[in-house]
Amino acid sequence: MVYGILGVGDSDVAACPTTHRNDGGPMTDRENLSRRAVLQTVAGTGLASVAGCSALESESDDVASTVEGERAAELARRFAPTLYFDRAEPWFPTDPRPYTSEQDGETVVDGFDAFDGYHDRMTDGEPPDPTVFSHVVEYEQSPLAVVQFWFYSAFDQFTTNFHWHDWEVLHVFVDTESGDPQLYVASSHSRKVPNNEFLDPDPEMVPRILSELGSHSSALSVNDARDRFTRLPEGDRFADITNSAVETIEDLAEIPVAYGLPRDEGSRLPYLVPEYEGAPLYEHERLPSVSREDLVPERLTLRSFDSLSAPPTDLPTRETGLVFQHTDRGEADPDIEYDLVPSSELEHIADFTGPQLSFEFAVPQFAEDAVAGHITTTGAPWNQPRYDNPAADISEPNHRAALAERYDAIGAPAEIRTLVASLSEAVSNDDAPENEGLTTEDTSVESVALLESDPEAVPTFAGLAVIQDVPAGDHQFTVNGAGVAPHSESVSVPEAGDGEGPTRAGVDGEVPLVARENATRLEVDPSGADSDLTDLAVEDDFAGRLYDAPLSEPDAVYVHGGGAYTTEVRDSDDAVGAFRVNPDPAADVAARIEEPRTGKASLASFLADIAEETRQTVAEQTEGADDILDDSGPVNAIRGLEQALAAVVEAAERATERAEAGDRGNADKQLQAVADRLQRVATRIDDASDALPDPLSNAARNRLEQAERRVEQAQAADKL
């Protein structure tokens, strides 16, 4: 299980590619993206762009003032969006004022009151008080104005969290001289997740919002597919976002970095059932009007991520339900017409309150741990910086750079530290012997990521977990998902502007998760080492390196029980140690490395182990052959390979003994003998390849490559 961290590169604005165009211009024509291909190529070639450019110094924005009266009303009416909701959506934009109360001399909206009152006033499925709130500001000495549309929902139920109240916003940046919109910014889950943004939208188009089920995260719809989200251009249809992409030099594929709308893109997204004080929230005595049927439907929900042994495969994707339109729009025949009310009419409300609700993440350690993040509410919009300065909500640096070039009021973008993890699933490899090799494949089930130093969980989209504005320093990063074992590792994020370009933890940015039914724990305790260990890596014979992270204390990694692994440790002197691990997929016990040593003895011992493991498997192919094919060519070829492997085992064991005895000269002589005998093994594998089953032949070649690399490390090692 591996995470990748991608910082923004040090390129200037002119070097940043525009990946999508409003007019349907040149785009990549790949429609089936491979996240692994993208990120693996990135690892070898570097990034052309990751969510924007970063060489510009941060600049402040000019002060913006509120626009009131008919001018504000006219702008709000012109850009009042049409809203498309999921068929299963329980909570629609409403007016919170019916649920206000006085608390300590201030007007507040209590979570219990709003949640219960909303469902009490729901009549025959008709949502009460459909309302959208508008707020208009303009930047001083500038023709740039921003029309904000705020959407209030009584509750938020999602896969990352659930909380009282929910405020979402659409910012429409408008040039008041030309009258043309410049930028749409639709709010995603939080400032940690990139918003859905579109630069230079069609001036004649009415903005459209696709609201995510339960969470109300706002995706944009700006093309002809009105009720679906389009991340990439499709034929003549342009994409719904102009966010920049994780892009390779060869331009093999692009993944625009924005939350989007996962269930509309074919991803499975399991929701959690909200609980408070250990019981389902709908059972609370202060919610008499709320029942289980008032929440996200059961077919989409889980009681916990670990309640499944494998990722779910039967979760439904998105279907369009109710369509909301402003009462003065006069277009088509909407399901619901909403009132447009200035948000100033709400500014007497001091806060939106409610007791803490929590969610837990399992963290794989020697003793399984849990980290609980607590969610309260999003607070009142008018107490947030983006209310008075909407530019603060632009999450795409290229978009801010474009506005900064057009308007002096907007400051140039600062460098952004962005954490990215690409999720996949580790599965058995048909080209490997049974239970001795893996491969990885894309997962269609979205997961949840948590940066424990800043406990704000983020959902994945298109299999990517993206966290923006990550503080420099060391962090613990955890991923949980439905039916998969948890993963956690340390990541180190550099200071912005360090000139080193993108930074990644893990292996090429890929995160292979393991279904719980196949997962087993691999434990490493550095306290038993003979040196100060700093790094831990795990490789499978077929899937390659699956884990690579710092190591400073006892660590546990969930691996697939059907893999065959080389575990590598590295110490503060850059000495390497290696250990062979073959977990029993049927055993419910952890594989543990008690004394992870580094140096020649460790590597030589590993060489003896991997050679003996392969020798035994090869020898099994000739069992019972003595009486029937004793002198046959195939049997002789297999026996020749077995003997060559036995010779490697003998030399490696002697090298181990000499190194442990402190005899460097003879240890190196035996390691040279190992290297020479591995060359003979390579010849014998070729001779026996037609006689061996293909999976075993493949495994022998892969292990030979591993052994050749480790014997070179052993020969070069200063430490015995």
Q: What is the pLDDT of residues 225-250, one digit of tens each?
A: 999 999 988 888 999 999 987 553 23
Q: 683 phi and psi, to 5 degrees?
A: -65, -40
Do residues 446 and 484 touch, judged by C-beta distance below 8 A? no
CA nearest to 503, candidates 477, 542, 540, 534: 477
- Picking from 406, 427, 459, the residue at the C-terminal end of a domain is 406
Structure confidence at residue 57 (pLDDT)? 44
**Residue ranges for the chain with pLDDT beneath 50:** 1-57, 248-253, 499, 501-502, 505, 627-629
Tokens of 314: 């039967």
Do residues 124 and 67 touch, judged by C-beta distance below 8 A? no
Tokens of 142: 């500038």
Q: Does residue 22 lie within any of the structural domains?
A: no
Q: Does residue 11 lie within any of the structural domains?
A: no
Structure confidence at residue 3 (pLDDT)? 26
Tokens of 82: 């049409």
Q: Does residue 196 lie within any of the structural domains?
A: yes
For residues 657 and 493, give the distance between their C-alpha atoms in angstroms, rounded to a whole number: 42
Q: Does residue 319 lie within any of the structural domains?
A: yes
Mind listing the pLDDT tens digit for each residue in 318-341?
999 999 999 888 777 789 999 999
Which residues, at least 6 apart from 123, have a Cβ–Cβ distance to it below 8 Å?
A: none
Domain count, the chain: 2
Amino acid at 192: K
Tokens of 644: 């060559």
Q: 83 phi and psi, to 5 degrees?
A: -115, 130
Bridge-partner residues for 459, per DSSP? 448
Bridge-partner residues for 136, per DSSP? 67, 147
- How open is the CA angle 469-363-155, to the nearest 5 degrees? 60
Give Cα separations from 258 to 184, 241, 244, 368, 458 (angstroms).
Answer: 13, 8, 9, 33, 12
Question: Please, is 392 exposed, middle or buried when counting C-beta atoms within 10 Å of its C-beta (0-12, 13-18, 19+)?
Answer: middle
- Picking from 406, 430, 461, the residue at the C-terminal end of a domain is 406
Structure confidence at residue 255 (pLDDT)? 79
Structure confidence at residue 502 (pLDDT)? 45
CA nearest to 131, candidates 165, 95, 97, 100: 95
Structure confidence at residue 635 (pLDDT)? 86
Structure confidence at residue 471 (pLDDT)? 86
Structure confidence at residue 530 (pLDDT)? 87
Do residues 230 and 241 touch, judged by C-beta distance below 8 A? no
Structure confidence at residue 331 (pLDDT)? 72
pTM: 0.86
Q: Which DSSP state fits 506?
A: S
CA 416 to chain centre: 17
Q: Does residue 667 lie within any of the structural domains?
A: yes
Q: Does residue 424 lie within any of the structural domains?
A: no
For residues 128 and 124, give the distance between their C-alpha atoms in angstroms, rounded to a whole number: 10
For residues 158 and 154, give the distance between their C-alpha atoms in angstroms, rounded to a whole number: 14
Structure confidence at residue 54 (pLDDT)? 35
Give Cα separations from 321 to 83, 123, 259 (angstroms).
Answer: 10, 17, 21
Structure confidence at residue 376 (pLDDT)? 53
CATH number for the domain spanning 643: value is 1.20.140
- In order, the DSSP letters of 554-586 are -EEEEEETT--EEEEEEETT--EEEEEE---TT
Mind listing the pLDDT tens digit for each residue in 271-310?
998 888 888 999 999 999 999 999 999 999 988 888 899 9
Do residues 538 and 379 touch, judged by C-beta distance below 8 A? no
The residue range of the domain holding 606 is 599-719
Q: Does residue 181 lie within any of the structural domains?
A: yes
Q: Does residue 415 lie within any of the structural domains?
A: no
Tokens of 399: 């978009």
- Picking from 371, 406, 441, the residue at the C-terminal end of a domain is 406
CA nearest to 197, candidates 184, 180, 210: 184
Q: Which DSSP state fits 634?
A: H
For residues 156 and 111, give the distance between their C-alpha atoms in angstroms, rounded to a whole number: 11
For residues 641 and 647, give the distance between their C-alpha atoms in angstroms, rounded to a whole number: 10
